[in-house]
Amino acid sequence: MTRIVNFAHGAFYMVGAYLAFTLTERLAGTWGFWGGILIAAAVVAVLGALLEIVLLRRIYRAPELFQLLATFGVTLMVQDIVVLIWGPEDLMGRRAPGFRGAVEIMGQLVPAYDLLLIVLGPTVLGLLWLLFHRTRWGVLVRAATQDRDMVAALGVNQKWLFTSVFALGVFLAALGGALQIPRDAVSHSMDLRIIVDVFVVVVIGGLGSVTGAFLAAIIVSELNAFGILIFPKISLVLVFLVMAVVLVIRPYGLFGKAEGAQRTSLGLSIRPWRPFTQAERIAVGAGVLVAASLPLFLGNYALTVGSEILVFVLFAASLHFMMTVGGLASFGHAAYFGLGAYGAAFMVKLFGAPMEVALLMGPLMGLVGAVLFGWFCVRLSGVYFAMLTLAFAQIAWSIAFQWVEVTGGDNGMLGIWPASWASKPAAFFWLVLGVVTVGVCILRVLVFSPFGFALRAARDSTLRSEAIGIDRRNVQWAAFIVAGTFAGIAGVLFAFLKGSVFPDNLGIPISVDGLVMVLLGGIETVSGAVVGAVVYKALAIWLMSQTEMSKLILGAVVVLLVVAFPKGIVGFLEDLRHRRRPASPPAGFKAAKVEAAE
Amino acid sequence: MKTSVKVALAALVLATGMGRAMAQDIKIGEINSYSGLPAFTEPYRKGWQLAVEEINAAGGVLGKKFVVVSKDDGGKPADAVTAANELVSSEGVVMLTGTFFSNIGLAVADYAKQKKVLFLAAEPLTDAMTWSQGNKYTFRLRPSNYMQAAMLAEEAAKLPAKRWATIAPNYEYGQSAVAVFKQLLSAKRPDIEWVTEQWPPQGKIDAGAVVQAVAAAKPDAIFNVTFGPDLVKLVREGNTRGLYKDRVVVSLLTGEPEYLDPLKDEAPEGWIVTGYPWYSLKTPEHDAFLKAYQAKFNDYPRLGSIVGYLTMKAAAAIITKAGSTDTDKMIAAAEGLSMGTPLGPIVFRAIDHQSTLGAFVGKTAVKDGKGVMVDTVYRDGAAYLPSDAEVKKLRPQN
Amino acid sequence: MTPLLQVENLDKSYGGVHAVRGVSFSLTAGRILALIGPNGAGKSTCFNMLNGQIKPNAGTIRLNGADITGLPPRTVWRRGVGRTFQITATFASMTVRENVQVALLSFHSKLASVFRYAGAAYRDEAERLLALVGMEAQAERPCGELAYGDLKRLELAIALANQPKLLLMDEPTAGMAPKERVDLMRLTAGIARDTGIGVLFTEHDMDVVFEHSDSVMVLNRGELIATGTPEEVRRDPQVRAIYLGEGLLYDAKHREGSAA
């Protein structure tokens, strides 16, 4: 309703379950159990409201994806915090008093607690419906969803309206988690298990439709149940297949409506982009030279870390190109990274190709994947686009995971090491530096090419770009393919860096890492992703090496950065530069006559 | 971009600045999923910490202090390779040890092969570790998937049950466990019929549906490979829906305290499992270990504890026998190395670098509101490995 | 001679509601035709069908005799139809000149090029178009910070980039100050007459309509109820009854000294 893509919902679900576990262990009796569950949900709702007030309110004005980044940071922190508070072991909660047994229905024993949940689901749905349609609060919320300004004009305090909606959502999430304890073990990984499913359900149902979400939840769980019987081997991917099919046929989910004049651009910069000036080019060149001289005074480990950072620079830059220039926020960009990595692995393992050939052929897998998936994806926009990219990434992931004969499944493909001339860390670093520098330069040239302008035109205004002869889908498809190919190149380098390829390479965490890098660098900048990738990856590797609480610290850093630099690091630096020199316009292209801009 | 390079420089300088190897210590590199899987890796860490303390109390190794440098891999193979690289290139460790997940174990093993470093894998179970993907530099301590499935298949063959169902997580571990179990049991009992196979996704089991599907096939017995939260759900759903009534369940790893303890009083009764019944072991060797462990940590050991403990004991034994930290000498020493353990003597086989550490097979029961293993027997791993000729076929010979 | 634009029996309904029915008219090159009508009369639907944003249920649209019915906007544009929008649609992340340059690049089919710097392409032509609409001084400014009137003028410059034969302008002066309105329409009329472009526009401001159009069509509830010169339309009793009765009087009273 508030249009916040809340990644932390799974975290609240998990905290709800943990708190309910503690409370139901402490409070005795039937009342203690049910009371404990409700209290747990209420406490988490209060925590959620606090989070909204303290964190999210500050960033409502930032690009929408920044809220995703902030909640991602919170999720990381919560994962470590629950381990600190409740310990690492899976906890098994009490069974619901009065619902321990089973009821026999048509010869099958059905757990009584399941029946209770079956009743509870529609009840909650009904209550929600009443709340939204029969109370003043509900009417205001629905109105605010349509038009914030109108509600503000009515003299309603929107801030508290949003806080209350957020708290309600959190309450329901925590209640859901708390209600799991009689069935499930409480563990610190349950947030990730649920959050992707929740996104899938909401998207299949159609955003903003509670009924749709409810129906989709039923469809998804039925599929899971029957899928096991009919297609036991593809149970992993079934929901994503369904989501992909639903979105291809109905671009706004089952019950969703076409989003009204939505802002397709991710964030509007008041400063148009400029190519580098001569001085800036020299500075960048010098920076690359400095990087190239690193092997002279750094050790092997540092160089390998440097190579890894560079690989992610290229990966983030490719995603950045698609997100910033194309306005296409992909949640599944790891698919093309992973496809590139697998492409290299296939070349080496199946065809015995040397590294040089794999370097050239590997990215083709990313390219082919992007051609195929992109064709479907660019038919959608906004969150639906993001979710379809996610679905395709998950489909690619599960193929890698399940097709054991070819991909080695979970155990991956091993022995993908660089050719002997590049096997020394320094040589490999130079190789990566060269490829990445060229790659990032090409992407930058593309941004300022007519093609890049067409892409930005399609992002800024679909209406106008169509009206001046730009085929939005084709242009965006081309951008998708470009981004996928460069991600594929990064994937190939990654495979040779690590010597092995695993389904992880296509997984959601890598996609999310990419998003974080882009957002950290600055969504409104030309090459912010480069900085974002360096900062995030260096920090992540260093923390990983230094502490086991890396998620807690990394999450906190992400949250702080989001609050401190809502335009990203590079966006912030640019602001700073312009504040210092308000009179002079952005340094123009060399040939441009510099005219007073004000 | 200029800024980016500066930041990169700063990061690299930080990265290299950490920990300089001190020449007088013998450093062992250790990698495990401490943040990703704390429930298993915490007891494991306690185990190796105890071993390190004991080794140094006895004068260290080759007259030097025995030091373990431990890194977290976050549950990701790529991060494990980064950690391995840091340990080898930057910390100067003489060998790598550890890992829990099969894919991480394999990634580190491949890294070890590439960089010519000895790797003593502690916990990963996959058979590929020592067989299809086996290499000269990699050894493994814990009894493999094959060995444990073989121990259970032996027990299963004694049962009258003819109609069998399997439930296993849908990835390599589950698939290979089921394959080995089926192959070995069918070989012993040709009359057996496999009536259904269930492959719930790991971590996302729809237990109700799985239980119904298995019940519908009317098996006499069930072979289960699920673990962790999936196992909890499966046990609960199965109990409520009466799946385990009058059926024998043979279940891999379920007797390990890591998996059995979270089930508390709902632990299933009469399941035939592999595991670690630390409470009923009465050998002097184990008593000594148990006392020392409880004294140091005020906690009881899990299976991970004993694996962690033995990992560092084995590492020290390898170096002591080699008389050097030269990789080739250590490999030569490790091949055929025999040592005593709290569970009994073990040997690192020269043929496939697998240790003969065994496992306990027994039945589950509930005692004082807790799941325990009863009627336990220690099965020596050596008896549950295929013949040398078969191993030679399974393992690349070079 | 075939008329520049020939529309026959255009029909569009949204689930039972007839937004536009049986609309036929034609427009000759160099002429300015106004389409007026009360809110909800179907003007925008009609307009959006002309440039292909909406597909009509029935009827044909011919441009210089060629059928363009149901073609997508980008193809219609390639055939020589420029348009401006009721709510301006420009590229907010670019400068004023870049906005025009994109349109020029598209017109010259250079948008697939990946190497040259787009900011350097067709600069002179872009400057000329901006000068035409009086925006040359603002060429370097970010489009996102322009005043609304300037955006309207920029849109006109963009719409002229493909050297159109037909210009569709949906409420070109909405949201502008009275002086600006007169200036913009004078400018448009001048361009149309000089270059022989046919202009079709919708408008609420009757001053603008009557001063600048050669003929006027009145749309009510999806049907054309009158067509003719401004004077004829003004005198039409049906038009007066349905539409002008209030609007025109209001406008006239509201703005002293204007015609009517």
- Dump pLDDT digits (tens) for B126-147: 999 999 989 999 999 999 999 9
A347 — pLDDT class (breaks 50, 70, 90)? very high
Domain carrying residue B44? 2-144+283-357
- Does position B241 have pLDDT exceeding 90, yes or no? no
Cα distances (Å, whole numbers) of residue B75 to A160, A243, B340: 40, 28, 31
Regarding whether A23 and A147 lie in a shared domain, the answer is yes
Q: Is residue A394 part of a domain?
A: yes
Give the percent of chain C with pLDDT over 90: 13
Closest residue to C140, CB basis, from A450, A591, A595: A595
Regarding whether B243 and B259 lie in a shared domain, the answer is yes
| Nearest residue in A to B90, CA atom | A301
CATH of the domain at A404: 1.10.3470
Q: How many residues does chain B have?
A: 398
Give dist(CA A45, CA A16) in Å, integer. 9
Say whether residue C86 is in contact with chain A using an 8 A CB cutoff: no
Q: Is residue B395 part of a domain?
A: no
Regarding whether A307 and A162 lie in a shared domain, the answer is no
- Does position C91 have pLDDT exceeding 90, yes or no? no
Touching, B vs C (3+ Cβ pairs under 8 A): no
- Does position B280 have pLDDT exceeding 90, yes or no? yes
How many structural domains comprise chain B?
A: 2
- Do C98 and A453 lie within an 8 Å CB cutoff? yes
pLDDT at residue A244 in the model:
83
Q: Is residue A33 part of a domain?
A: yes
Regarding whether B235 and B374 lie in a shared domain, the answer is yes
- A128 token code pair: 């929600």
Q: Is residue A567 part of a domain?
A: yes
Q: Is residue B389 part of a domain?
A: no
pLDDT at residue C244 in the model:
53
- Does position A247 have pLDDT exceeding 60, yes or no? yes
How many alpha carbons lie under 13 Å from residue A101 in its C-beta half-sphere?
A: 4
Say whether residue A446 is in contact with chain C using an 8 A CB cutoff: yes
- C85 token code pair: 């929008």
Among residues 17-56 of chain C, which lie with CB inside 8 Å of chain A?
51, 53
A160 — pLDDT class (breaks 50, 70, 90)? confident
- Does position B64 have pLDDT exceeding 90, yes or no? yes
pLDDT digits (tens, 9 = 90+) for C67-81: 998 899 889 998 999
Say whether residue A190 is in contact with chain B using an 8 A CB cutoff: yes
- Do B262 and A91 lie within an 8 Å CB cutoff? yes
| Nearest residue in A to B203, CA atom | A193
Taking the CA of residue C95 and the nearest CA in chain A, the distance in Å comes to: 6
- Does position A568 have pLDDT exceeding 70, yes or no? yes
- Does C4 or C205 have the greater pLDDT score? C4
pLDDT at residue A233 in the model:
62
Regarding whether A576 and A462 lie in a shared domain, the answer is yes
C1 — pLDDT class (breaks 50, 70, 90)? low
- Does position A149 have pLDDT exceeding 70, yes or no? no
Nearest Cα neighbor of A92 from A34, A22, A167 is: A22
B339 — pLDDT class (breaks 50, 70, 90)? very high
Contact A336, A374 (CB under 8 A): no
Q: Is residue B190 part of a domain?
A: yes
Give dist(CA A454, CA A458) in Å, integer. 6
Contact A520, A558 (CB under 8 A): yes
Q: Which chains touch A (3 or more CB pairs under 8 A)?
A: B, C
Q: Is residue B343 part of a domain?
A: yes
Beta strands in chain B (DSSP E): 25-32, 65-72, 95-98, 118-121, 138-140, 163-167, 193-198, 221-224, 248-255, 272-275, 338-339, 346-347, 359-367, 370-379
Say whether residue C73 is in contact with chain A using an 8 A CB cutoff: yes
Regarding whether B378 and B344 lie in a shared domain, the answer is no
Domain carrying residue A57? 9-188
Regarding whether A286 and A179 lie in a shared domain, the answer is no
The CATH homologous superfamily for domain C1-81+207-260 is P-loop containing nucleotide triphosphate hydrolases (3.40.50.300)
Regarding whether B298 and B374 lie in a shared domain, the answer is no
pLDDT at residue C234 in the model:
81
B338: left (phi over 0), alpha (psi -120 to 50) or beta: beta
A103 — pLDDT class (breaks 50, 70, 90)? confident
- Does position C16 have pLDDT exceeding 90, yes or no? no
Contacts of C85 in chain A (CB under 8 A): 463-464, 467
Regarding whether B73 and B19 lie in a shared domain, the answer is yes
**What is the pTM assigned to this prediction?**
0.85
Regarding whether B294 and B261 lie in a shared domain, the answer is no
Q: Is residue A28 part of a domain?
A: yes
- Does position A266 have pLDDT exceeding 70, yes or no? no
B188 — pLDDT class (breaks 50, 70, 90)? very high
ipTM computed for the complex: 0.86
Q: Is residue A230 part of a domain?
A: no
- Does position A40 have pLDDT exceeding 80, yes or no? yes
- Does C119 or A449 have the greater pLDDT score? A449
Regarding whether A176 and A297 lie in a shared domain, the answer is no
The angle subtended at Cα A209 by Cα A206 and Cα A210, nearest 5°, is 125
- A414 token code pair: 């091993």
B306 — pLDDT class (breaks 50, 70, 90)? very high
CATH of the domain at B254: 3.40.50.2300
Regarding whether B219 and B124 lie in a shared domain, the answer is no
What value does the mean pLDDT take over residues A214-239?
71
- Do C101 and A467 lie within an 8 Å CB cutoff? no
Among residues 244-283 of chain A, which lie with CB inside 8 Å of chain C?
265, 268-275
- Does position A110 have pLDDT exceeding 60, yes or no? yes
Q: Check residue C13 and report its DSSP letter.
A: E
Regarding whether B370 and B226 lie in a shared domain, the answer is yes
Contacts of C92 in chain A (CB under 8 A): 265, 268, 460-461
B97 — pLDDT class (breaks 50, 70, 90)? very high
Contacts of A453 in chain C (CB under 8 A): 94, 98, 101-102, 105, 111, 118
pLDDT at residue B36 in the model:
79
- Do A306 and B263 lie within an 8 Å CB cutoff? no
How many structural domains comprise chain A?
A: 2
pLDDT at residue A218 in the model:
79
Say whether residue A549 is in contact with chain B using an 8 A CB cutoff: yes
Regarding whether B220 and B199 lie in a shared domain, the answer is yes
Among C78, C111, C135, C154, the residue to mutate for chain A (most A Cβ within 10 A): C111
Say whether residue A21 is in contact with chain B using an 8 A CB cutoff: no
Q: CATH 3.40.50.300 region(s) of chain C?
A: 1-81+207-260
Regarding whether B200 and B308 lie in a shared domain, the answer is no
| Nearest residue in A to B77, CA atom | A502
- Does position A317 have pLDDT exceeding 60, yes or no? yes
Give dist(CA B32, CA B13) in Å, integer. 25
- Do A448 and C117 lie within an 8 Å CB cutoff? yes
How many alpha carbons lie under 13 Å from residue A242 in its C-beta half-sphere?
A: 23
Residue C256: CB atoms within 10 Å: 6
